[in-house]
């Protein structure tokens, strides 16, 4: 497999410039990796790098688009400090994306920013929720009709530990392998799930197929072991960006990551034909939304 990583030598969040080759790589599902771009912590923020800032029973802390903080334990001062740190990362992530991908800017929809202080390797999860297995992102309760999931990640580990990912084969290969095994879409089941509030809106055939890919990949242990993949170690003080609905990824180890999600209509990409929606529509010969 060709490398799925494109390394960029940027050291300033505000200095990114649009570049056709990088944009094409990102839209082809590759990971843009910025080894010199660090999220700087203020001295007083070091104390926030502990799992103790997580409320009991939550996986992540998140700052909603409206500025509301969820999932953090601690008194008002701690809550304010966490919100300020996450919000500074949000601003820098937005500056980076606006510089790299200026055509996206007017079309982006801000999703929550998350701070993940939990250690990956000791987390126990069901196979479906286990992000240590290669997958493309797809969320059972939140149909998105082909809207893209663009994510900016930074490893803020204070002990110099990397965040280790596996990155798998390109989306088209994943789709070609798992579409033939996908269960067919059943319209009345989608309506029932909506009525029972299992889904927040009607699950489209696109959303159904994306979940089938997600579950097909995660449930196939042979695929997990033997499919084309590369292990990538993102050092502390680095940033990486990908479309996580397209890039096959798994997280193997690490602790203390911040992540910004941005949504984008597939039609607003530089090349809409490279989107999962376009690829799945081509492969099935159907309109999926």
Residues engaged in binding Fe ion (CB under 5 A)? 137
**Residue 156 binds what, of ligand SIN, Fe ion, none (CB under 5 to 8 Å, by partner type)?**
none
Least separation, in Å, of the C-beta of 104 and Fe ion? 20
Residue 283 has φ and ψ, to the nearest 5°, of -70, -30
Q: Measured from the CB atom, is 146 or 254 closer to ligand SIN?
A: 254
Pairing label, strands 5-7, 31-34: parallel
**Residue 257 binds what, of Fe ion, ligand SIN, none (CB under 5 to 8 Å, by partner type)?**
ligand SIN
Q: Measured from the CB atom, is 15 or 129 closer to Fe ion?
A: 129
**Residue 163 binds what, of Fe ion, ligand SIN, none (CB under 5 to 8 Å, by partner type)?**
ligand SIN
Calpha distance 139→121 (Å, rounded): 22
Q: Measured from the CB atom, is 137 or 205 closer to ligand SIN?
A: 137
Calpha distance 116→199 (Å, rounded): 25
Q: Cα torsion for 96, 99, 101, 102, to the nearest 10°?
A: 140
Q: Cα torsion for 176, 192, 201, 248, to the nearest 10°?
A: -20
Joined together, the tokens standing for residue 189 give: 């089941």
Least separation, in Å, of the C-beta of 244 and Fe ion? 5
Least separation, in Å, of the C-beta of 244 and ligand SIN? 5
What residues make contact with ligand SIN under the rule CB under 6 A? 116, 131, 137, 163, 244, 249, 251, 257
Joined together, the tokens standing for residue 194 give: 């909506």
């Amino acid at each position: 497999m060709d490398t799925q990583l494109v390394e960029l030598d940027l050291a300033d969040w505000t200095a990114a410039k649009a570049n056709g080759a990088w944009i094409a790589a990102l839209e082809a599902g590759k990971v843009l990796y910025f080894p010199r771009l660090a999220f700087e912590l203020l001295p007083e923020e070091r104390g926030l790098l502990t799992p103790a800032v997580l409320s009991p029973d939550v996986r992540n802390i998140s700052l909603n688009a409206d500025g509301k903080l969820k999932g953090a334990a601690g008194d008002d001062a701690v809550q304010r400090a966490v919100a300020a740190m996450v919000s500074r990362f949000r601003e820098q992530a937005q500056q980076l994306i606006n510089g790299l991908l200026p055509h996206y800017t007017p079309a982006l929809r801000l999703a929550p920013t998350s701070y993940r202080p939990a250690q990956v390797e000791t987390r126990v999860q069901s196979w479906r929720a286990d992000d240590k297995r290669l997958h493309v992102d797809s969320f059972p309760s939140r149909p998105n009709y082909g809207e893209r999931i663009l994510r900016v990640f930074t490893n803020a580990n204070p002990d110099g530990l990397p965040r280790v990912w596996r990155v798998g084969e390109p989306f088209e290969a994943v789709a070609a392998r798992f579409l033939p095994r996908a269960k067919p879409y059943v319209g009345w089941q989608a309506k029932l799930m909506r009525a029972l509030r299992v889904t927040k809106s009607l699950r489209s055939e696109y959303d159904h197929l994306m979940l089938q890919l997600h579950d097909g990949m995660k449930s196939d242990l042979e695929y997990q072991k033997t499919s084309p993949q590369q292990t990538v170690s993102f050092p502390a003080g680095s940033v990486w960006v990908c479309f996580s609905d397209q890039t096959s990824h798994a997280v193997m180890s690490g602790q203390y990551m911040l992540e910004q999600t941005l949504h984008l209509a597939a039609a607003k990409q530089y090349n809409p034909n490279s989107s999962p929606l376009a690829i799945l529509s081509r492969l099935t010969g159907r309109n999926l939304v």
